[in-house]
Amino acid sequence: MLNQEEFEELARMADRVNEAVRLEFIEGRVLEKPMPDGDHDTIVEWLTRVCIQSRSDWWLYPDRGLRIDGYRQGNARPDGSLAVTGTFAGQGEWASPDGVLMVVEVTSHDRDTHARDHVEKPRAYAGAGIPVFLLVDRDSCEVKVHSEPEGGRYTRQVVVPYGKTVTLPDPVGIELDTEPLKDWTR
């Protein structure tokens, strides 16, 4: 079994060999994260605008490598990590999740998306103490908001279909109108 340092070296080598491969280390397993499609990127772009319109000192950092070893030793690249601007200054490729207010994942159209985005990542992010996990599920056309991390899991989950408004709980505190997501799901 790999340790975190061995994984980080493997990820650096993979980046040099093939820029189309992004690796994560979740629950002791090396996972390949698929490259996003245009709709995926547009959803992350839209969420970035929503977040900085809410507070100009926030930024939704795309694909920010995080050490998520609060639950189990690991490394993840959320599609977005909401934090105060400058939170990751001075940190390397794999940063501490301290200061992350919310992580965002947008499902991909691959065979591993359910296990990765619905099971493994919520446990890992909750274990790291990240207050809010927002999952945009393009397969079910729903937004899932996980919050109140405790004991390696989120104790609260709110699920709304596209087109409804959902409140992203504190420390985020944004009312998110999900209507635009209908345009970016095929």
List, in sequence order, the alpha helices (H) in 32-169.
38-54, 113, 121-127
pLDDT at 54: 95
Domains and CATH numbers, the chain: 36-184 (3.90.1570.10)
Higher pLDDT, 77 or 28: 77
Q: How far apart are CA 13 and CA 125, in angstroms?
A: 25
Q: Answer yes or no: is pLDDT of 20 > 90.
A: no
When the pLDDT of each residue in the chain is averaged and rounded to a whole number, the result is 85
Q: What is the mean pLDDT of residues 112-116?
A: 65
Find out whether 112 and 103 touch, Cβ atoms under 8 Å. Answer: no
Q: Answer yes or no: is pLDDT of 17 > 60.
A: no
pLDDT at 51: 96
pLDDT at 71: 43
- In this structure, what are the phi and psi dihedrals at residue 145, rounded to the nearest 5 degrees? -110, 115
Per-residue pLDDT of 121-179, as tens digits, reads 898 999 999 999 999 999 999 999 999 999 989 999 999 999 999 999 999 999 999 99
The bridge status of strand 94-95 relative to strand 65-67 is: parallel
Q: What is the mean pLDDT of residues 77-93?
A: 94
Per-residue pLDDT of 159-168, as tens digits, reads 999 999 999 9
Confidence of residue 30 (pLDDT cuts 50, 70, 90): low
Q: How far apart are CA 88 and CA 56, in angstroms?
A: 17
Q: What is the mean pLDDT of residues 34-39?
A: 72
